[in-house]
Amino acid sequence: MTTHVRRAYRYRFYPTDAQAAELSRTFGCVRKVYNMALAARTDAWTRRQERINYNATSAMLTAWKKTEELAYLSEVSSVPLQQCLRHLQGAFVNFWEKRGKYPRFKSRKKSRRCAEYTSSAFRYRNGTLTLAKMKDPLHIVWSRPLPEGSVPTTVTVSQDPAGRWFVSLLCEDASVKPLPVTDAVVGIDAGITSLVTFSTGEKVTNPRCERRDRVRLAKAQRELSRKTKGDGANRAKARRKVAKIHARIADRRRDHLHKLTTRLVRENQTIVIEDLTVRTMLKNHTLARAISDASWTMMRSMLEYKTAWYGRDLVAVDRWFPSSKLCSICGTLQARMPLSVRTWTCEGCGATHDRDVNAAINLKAAGLAVSVCGAGVRPQRSTPDGQSATKQKTSQREP
C-alpha cells in the first residue's frame, strides 16, 4: 500500500546579484503588504466592528498598486503578495478558533525573509527552476532528487539570518510506503543528561549542541554588543557571525533528531512518549537553556509525521502520570522524589530503580493501556501526603 503525502524538499541555492536583488525586493514588498493588510483589518474591527476577509484585502492590494506611493509593488511578482494575504487570513482563522495569538506585524530585521510562489509564478523543467520576473534559473544544489514523476506545486524561497538562501519545493510524494508491521513497543522518557531513555534500558546521550559552541557564541555576541546600533556594515557583519553560529547549532541538533526519530520509527510499531508542556517547563530559568537545547518539541513533531507516514502508532501519555515515582514492578507510588535522586529503592518490594529507565517502563505500560482501552491516562494529581504527582522531567542542574 502506497501513501500519497505532500512533502517539502529543501535545497540550498546560490543566486546571482540580480536574482538576490529581485528576491530582496520581493521580501520587502511581501512584508509591506502583510503589515498594511493587518493594519487595515485591525482598524476596521476596532472602529466599525467589521471583519475584512481575504477577498477584501486582495481588492485593497489592487488599489494600492495604482497609487503613486506604492507603485513599486507592481515591480515584483503578484503571486507572493497574494500568498501573504492568504497566510494572514489563515492567521486570523487560527486566532478566531483560539489556536493562536493575534497576528503581529512583521519586522524588517527580525521577521523571516521568505516568499511563496504557486505554479503560475515559476517554471520547473528538466531539473531547472525559474521564478517569475527572472530570466535565468536558480543555481540549486540538488542534494537529493525529487520523487520520480513529481512536479512542485508550491515553491518557497527564503533567506536565513546567516545569509544562506534556501528553496523549498512542495511535491506529492507517492514513494512513501508503510513499514512492515512488528510487535515492538518502546517507552521513551525525555531528559537532559540523557536526551532519551528507552524502556529497554538504553540511554541516548544528549549531544548538547548549544554547549559545544557556547564559548564561540558568547564571544561573537560580545563583539556584536560593542558595535554601534543602527544599519552600519560592521554591526551587520557581527550580527551575521552570531547567526551563523546559531545556524550551525540548529543544523547539528536537527540532524541528530532526524537520525534518532527515524531509527525509532523503523524499529518499533508503537512509540510511547509523555505529553510534556515544554512552554511551562521553560519558566524554570535554571534549566530553561538546557531544555531548549534538548528540543523535545521538535523531536515530538518529527515522531508525529513520521509515524503517520510509515504506519506506526504514537501514543502520548498524560503529563500528570507519575512515571518517575511509580514502581514499575509492584506499582507503589513514592511520596516524594527530588530531581537529585537518580536511583531509588521501592518501599513496597525493595527493588532498586534507575529513575529514567523506570519512568520509560511505566510509560510503555501506560501507553499499551491507552492503545487497548482507548482512554487517557490521568491518575490522581496529588499523593496522600498532599504533594503533587506531576512528574518533573528535568533531571539535573545545567551550569
Q: Which residues are catalytic?
A: 189, 274, 356
Grid look-up 474591527 returns 45
Asked whether the CA dihedral 235, 236, 238, 239 is positive or negative, the reply is positive
Containing 197, the helix (H) or strand (E) segment is: strand 194-198
Taking the CA atoms of residue 332, residue 336, residue 342 and residue 346 in that order, the dihedral angle to the nearest 10 degrees is -30
Asked whether the CA dihedral 277, 282, 286, 289 is positive or negative, the reply is positive
How far apart are alpha carbons 214 and 218 in whole angstroms? 6
Q: Do residues 247 and 170 make contact, with C-beta atoms less than 8 angstroms apart?
A: no
Question: Which bin fits 188, alpha (ψ -120 to 50), beta or left (φ > 0)?
Answer: beta
Going from the C-alpha of 136 to that of each of 22, 63, 128, 140, 369, the distances in angstroms are 12, 31, 10, 12, 58
Q: What is the largest CA-CA distance in the chain?
A: 82
Per DSSP, the residues of 363-382 read HHHHHHHHHHH-------SB
Contacts of 132 (CB under 8 A, 6+ apart): 77, 79, 117, 121, 122
Taking the CA atoms of residue 319, residue 397, residue 302 and residue 355 in that order, the dihedral angle to the nearest 10 degrees is -60
Q: Do residues 194 and 204 make contact, with C-beta atoms less than 8 angstroms apart?
A: yes
Q: Do residues 153 and 118 make contact, with C-beta atoms less than 8 angstroms apart?
A: yes
How far apart are alpha carbons 2 and 8 in whole angstroms? 18
How far apart are alpha carbons 394 and 36 in whole angstroms? 43
Contacts of 122 (CB under 8 A, 6+ apart): 129, 130, 131, 132, 152, 155
How far apart are alpha carbons 198 and 357 in whole angstroms? 7
